[in-house]
Amino acid sequence: MKILIAEDEPILLKTMELKLKRDGHEIITAINGREAIQLITDNDIDMVITDIMMPYTTGLEILGFVKSSFTKRIPVIVLSAMGQENVVVEAFRLGADDYITKPFSPNELSLRVMRFSTMLAV
Partner 1 sequence: MPFANEPGVHIYKSNNFSKLFQLFLPGHKIFLLNNITHISTRFLYGAIVFFSFLTVILVSGILITVLRKKIMFDKRSMIVRQLEDWIMEVVLENASDNQSFFLPAAVSLVLKSQLAKRVLLRKLMELKKSLSGVSGDNIQKVYSQLNLQEISLKRLESKYWHVKARGLQELAVMHQDAYHEKVFELTNNKDTMVRMEAQISIVRLKGYSGLQFFDTLSYPLSEWHQLNLLSLLGHLPLSNEDGILSWLKSFNLSVVQFSLKLIGEQHAVEFHDEVINCLGHPEIIVRREAILCLGQMPSQEAATALKAHYLVEPDKNLQMIVIQILRKTGSHLDLPFLHILQNGEDLDIKLVADRSVLYLQKINGNRQIPVTAT
The closest alpha carbon to 6, from 77, 92, 111, 68, belongs to 77
The answer to whether residue 19 forms part of the interface with partner 1 (CB under 8 A) is yes
12 binds partner 1 (CB under 8 A): yes
Q: How far apart are CA 77 and CA 75, in angstroms?
A: 7
Is residue 29 within a helix (H) or strand (E), and if so which, with residue range?
strand 26-30
The answer to whether 30 touches 23, Cβ cutoff 8 Å, is no
38 binds partner 1, rule: CB under 8 A: no
**Binder to partner 1 among 24, 68, 103, 122 (CB under 8 A)?**
103
- Say if residues 41 and 13 touch (Cβ distance below 8 Å): no
Any idea what DSSP says for residue 122? -
Q: Cβ closer to partner 1: 73 or 102? A: 102
122 contributes a contact to partner 1 by CB under 8 A = no
Contact call for residue 22 and partner 1 (CB under 8 A): yes
Q: Which is nearer to partner 1, 24 or 103 (CB)?
A: 103
Of the candidate spans 17-25, 40-48, 58-66, 112-120, the one that interacts with partner 1 by CB under 8 A turns out to be 17-25
